[in-house]
């Protein structure tokens, strides 16, 4: 009995010493992904401030030509995460560390003053080409974008790397290009928390995921979930496919506003069907817009229920605008049949319609920005804008001169003798087939002209 205790005790003691020096760290080392990233975290109570400080060590190899960036961030996803990003500095041997955040998937920007105070304690590049940065985040739990709990057994963290952006810059605001690899992990923060003293997180020489007080060289303990997406695609935290909800939202809305331009062209086309073309296209486009916006609201709830971006505010204002616009269009028409001329409602419809058309199309850009969209989508949007402008500008140009597009195309002189255009200021607004409807209802053009105000 006694002897067995005596043999176990030293082994146990040795074990504690060895495991106590095991850091809480996560690694993603993958040649195919051109990623070699480890980060270690430790936290402790700051004896002066009584707040919990976080120490972070990021150690990464910029595998291809020593360029690109690497980042780890507090949170389950990009949206509102507190991101620590590092890249090679402007001169050989230097490292730039930048603390940023973002909304949804937009390009991360340097955090504002109200973020927790961070301090880069040490940066170095070792002879194996590993870039290292040790960072302190004071009172780090005060970050309100996402939740950090240094006592949590399952704190979400994310990471991302890029290997092809030519970084080499001392500018902390350097505009980042998207990642080539990214992932999600849960860390047992409690395992590295200390009540007393300042500990400094230190990535171990073994570049594997590990946790203190476990078999140090063993595989990741079950409390840690590695969701590096290429390895466990099924567990991917949240994936955007080409036909995902975000893309569908964007497509419906971009297409909806694009269509409105052709509805506007319809009403000014000079075609005898202009009225019908207009209301059909606008009602269809308008419905797509309302449905798309509702999807946007749903998306925002799914992302945690934040409604704080410019894109969302503009988008939200589009729902009532488009509905009111439809009603105004109809009211205009009813009044028109009654009085045979434009009323105030007509001008509201025209100007609210033009404003919605322009603002909605611009909001596509804000949406693409928020979604961190790839360049294909940007170019599609630019092309769409170019097409719309090349329709609208000549259309408005001729319209202002009392001509319709069809007149212009057929090179007809302005028809002075036609009732339609009595004066450019007023009656040029009258649309052919609205007049036709008067005739259908037994009213001739002359009745109209003599109609009361
Ligand atoms: C220019 C900078 C960035 C852009 C344009 C960008 C863009 C995107 C986009 C479009 C997605 C969703 C599509 C997909 O699943 O591939 C995404 C996902 C993700 N990104 Fe980024 N990203 C940037 C920077 C970062 C940084 C600095 C991190 C730091 C950790 C990061 C971490 C992630 C993670 C973990 C995901 C999956 C979870 C989520 O959807 O939020 N990204 N990123
Ligand atoms: C969301 C739906 C709609 C949008 C965005 C919209 C937009 C517009 C715009 C921008 C104009 C002015 C064209 C210009 O710039 O020269 C216009 C004119 C007109 N719209 Fe709509 N429209 C919509 C729905 C409707 C509906 C439902 C009707 C009829 C029931 C209608 C009837 C008209 C008429 C008659 C005009 C000509 C007004 C005039 O020249 O006095 N619109 N619309
Ligand atoms: C004028 C109306 C709107 C337009 C034209 C519009 C357009 C877009 C576009 C083009 C995207 C990018 C999609 C992609 O990359 O494929 C987007 C993303 C987004 N939109 Fe909208 N949108 C509108 C209204 C709204 C509304 C009303 C909301 C919610 C209140 C909303 C919330 C979002 C969010 C949260 C994203 C980013 C999703 C992510 O990256 O995770 N949008 N929008
Ligand atoms: C406690 O926090 C302050 C700033 O918030 C910092 O200057 C100080 O170094 C911290 N103390 C320790 C032991 O890290």
Q: Where are the alpha helices (DSSP H) in 340-431?
A: 344-370, 375-400, 405-409
Nearest-angstrom CA–CA distance, 128 and 207: 13
Flag whether pLDDT at 372 surpasses 50. yes
Q: Is residue 158 lining ligand 1, measured as CB closer than 6 Å?
A: yes
pLDDT of residue 143: 96
> What mean pLDDT do residues 376-382 have?
97
Unique residue bearing structure tokens 């086309």: 269
Average pLDDT, the chain: 84
In this predicted model, what pLDDT tens digit does every residue of 70-82 receive, in sequence order?
A: 999 999 999 999 9
Give 373 Cα–ligand 1 centroid separation in angstroms.
10
| Among 185, 181, 229, 233, CA closest to 209 | 185
Fold held by 245-449:
1.20.120
Flag whether pLDDT at 414 surpasses 70. no
Contact 104, 370 (CB under 8 A): yes
Q: Give the chain's radius of gyration (CA, Å).
A: 32
Q: Return residue ranges of the chain for CATH 2.60.40.1210.
A: 23-237
Residue 412 CB: number of other CB atoms within 10 A? Answer: 13
The token pair at 62 is: 């910029």
| Among 259, 264, 110, 252, CA closest to 175 | 110
Helix (H), strand (E), coil (C) string for 191-259: HHEECCCCCCCCCCCCCCCECCCCCCCCCCCCCCCECCCCCCHHHCCCCCCCCCHHHHHHHHHHHHHHH
Q: Residue 68: CB partners within 8 Å, gap ≥ 6?
A: 62, 87, 161, 162, 163, 164, 165, 167, 180
Give 316 Cα–ligand 2 centroid separation in angstroms.
21
What element of type H or E holds 142?
Answer: none
> What mean pLDDT do residues 379-406 have?
93
The token pair at 379 is: 């170019």
Nearest CA to ligand 3 atom 35: 300
Nearest-angstrom CA–CA distance, 134 and 405: 66
Range from 61-75, 109-123, 219-233, 275-289 carrying the lowest mean pLDDT: 219-233
Nearest-angstrom CA–CA distance, 172 and 160: 17
Nearest-angstrom CA–CA distance, 367 and 308: 13
Give 357 Cα–ligand 2 centroid separation in angstroms.
11
In this predicted model, what pLDDT tens digit does every residue of 348-371 receive, in sequence order?
A: 999 999 999 999 999 999 999 999
The dihedral over CA atoms of 140, 141, 144, 145, expressed in degrees to the nearest 10, equals 70
pLDDT of residue 110: 97
Flag whether pLDDT at 244 surpasses 90. no
Contact 46, 142 (CB under 8 A): no
- Report helix, strand or coil for 98: strand
Q: Residue 131: CB partners within 8 Å, gap ≥ 6?
A: 59, 60, 61, 62, 70, 86, 88, 95, 123, 125
Flag whether pLDDT at 157 surpasses 80. yes
| Among 226, 184, 202, 178, CA closest to 76 | 184
- Report helix, strand or coil for 366: helix
CA distances from 157 to 12, 217, 397 (A): 32, 22, 55
What element of type H or E holds 424?
Answer: none
The token pair at 333 is: 């028409």
Nearest CA to ligand 3 atom 5: 364
pLDDT of residue 8: 54
More confident residue, 228 or 401: 401
> What mean pLDDT do residues 161-180 have?
96
Q: Return residue ranges of the chain for CATH 1.20.120.
A: 245-449
Ligand 1 pocket, mutate which of 156, 160, 167 (most atoms under 8 A from CB): 160
- Report helix, strand or coil for 289: helix
Give 254 Cα–ligand 3 centroid separation in angstroms.
10
Fold held by 23-237:
Immunoglobulin-like (2.60.40)
Flag whether pLDDT at 235 surpasses 50. no
Supply the angle between the helices 375-400 and 344-370 in degrees, to the nearest 10.
160
In this predicted model, what pLDDT tens digit does every residue of 49-108 receive, in sequence order?
A: 999 999 999 999 999 999 999 999 999 999 999 999 999 999 999 999 999 999 999 999
Ligand 3 pocket, mutate which of 302, 311, 356, 368 (most atoms under 8 A from CB): 311
What pTM does this model have?
0.81
In this predicted model, what pLDDT tens digit does every residue of 109-139 receive, in sequence order?
A: 999 988 999 999 999 999 999 999 999 999 9
Unique residue bearing structure tokens 């996402």: 146
In this predicted model, what pLDDT tens digit does every residue of 21-51 receive, in sequence order?
A: 688 999 999 999 999 999 999 999 998 999 9
Please measure the distance between the N-terminal and C-terminal CA atoms of the chain and give it in whole angstroms.
113
Range from 138-142, 219-223, 370-374, 424-428 carrying the lowest mean pLDDT: 424-428
Flag whether pLDDT at 223 surpasses 50. no
Contact 372, 106 (CB under 8 A): yes
Q: What sign does the dihedral 190-191-192-196 (CA atoms) show?
A: positive
Nearest-angstrom CA–CA distance, 318 and 312: 10
Beta bridge partners of 332: none
How do strand 35-45 and strand 193-194 relate by DSSP bridges? parallel
Residue 364: alpha-carbon gap to chain centroid: 11
Taking phi first (over 0 means left), then psi (-120 to 50 degrees means alpha), and beta for anything else, what does residue 116 get? Answer: beta
Nearest-angstrom CA–CA distance, 136 and 144: 17
pLDDT of residue 199: 85
User: CB within 6 Å of ligand 3 — which residues?
Assistant: 104-105, 246-247, 249-250, 253-254, 257, 293, 296-297, 299-300, 303, 307, 311-312, 314-316, 318, 360, 363-364, 367-368, 370-371, 373, 377
pLDDT of residue 135: 97
């Amino acid at each position: 009995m006694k002897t067995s205790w005596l043999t176990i005790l030293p082994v146990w003691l040795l074990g504690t010493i060895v495991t106590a020096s095991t850091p809480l760290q996560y690694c993603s080392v993958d040649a195919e992904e051109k990623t070699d990233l480890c980060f270690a975290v430790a936290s402790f109570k700051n004896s002066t401030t009584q707040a919990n400080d976080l120490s972070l060590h990021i150690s990464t190899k910029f595998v291809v030509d020593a360029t690109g960036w690497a980042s780890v961030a507090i949170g389950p996803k990009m949206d509102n995460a507190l991101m620590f990003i590092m890249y090679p500095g402007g001169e050989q041997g230097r490292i730039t560390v930048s603390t940023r955040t973002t909304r949804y998937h937009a390009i991360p920007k340097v955090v504002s003053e109200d973020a927790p105070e961070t301090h880069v304690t040490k940066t170095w590049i070792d002879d194996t080409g590993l870039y290292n940065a040790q960072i302190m985040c004071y009172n780090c739990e005060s970050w309100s974008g996402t939740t950090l709990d240094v006592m949590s057994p399952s704190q979400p963290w994310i990471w991302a790397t890029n290997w092809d952006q030519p970084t080499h810059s001392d500018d902390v605001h350097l505009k980042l290009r998207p990642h080539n690899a990214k992932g999600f992990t849960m860390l047992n923060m409690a395992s590295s928390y200390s009540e007393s003293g300042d500990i400094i997180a230190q990535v171990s020489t073994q570049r594997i995921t590990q946790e203190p007080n476990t078999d140090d060289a063993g595989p990741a303990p079950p409390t840690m979930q590695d969701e590096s997406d290429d390895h466990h695609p099924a567990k991917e935290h949240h994936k955007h496919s080409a036909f995902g909800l975000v893309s569908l939202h964007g497509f419906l809305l971009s297409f909806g506003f694009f269509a409105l331009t052709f509805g506007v062209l319809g009403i000014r086309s000079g075609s005898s069907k202009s009225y019908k073309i207009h209301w059909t296209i606008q009602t269809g486009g308008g419905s797509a817009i309302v449905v798309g916006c509702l999807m946007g609201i749903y998306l925002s709830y799914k992302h945690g229920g934040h409604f704080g971006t410019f894109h969302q505010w503009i988008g939200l204002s589009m729902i009532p605008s488009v509905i009111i616009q439809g009603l105004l269009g109809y009211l205009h028409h009813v009044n028109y049949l009654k009085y045979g001329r434009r009323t105030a409602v007509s001008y509201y419809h025209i100007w609210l319609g033009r404003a919605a058309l322009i603002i909605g199309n611009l909001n596509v850009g804000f949406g693409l920005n928020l979604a961190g969209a790839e360049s294909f989508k940007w170019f599609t949007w630019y092309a769409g804008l170019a097409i719309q402008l090349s329709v609208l500008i000549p259309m408005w140009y001729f319209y202002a001169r009392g001509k319709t597009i069809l007149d212009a195309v057929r090179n007809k002189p302005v028809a002075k003798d036609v009732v339609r255009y009595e004066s450019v200021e007023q009656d040029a607004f009258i649309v052919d087939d609205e007049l036709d409807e008067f005739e259908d209802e037994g009213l001739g053009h002359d009745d109209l002209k003599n109609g009361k105000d």
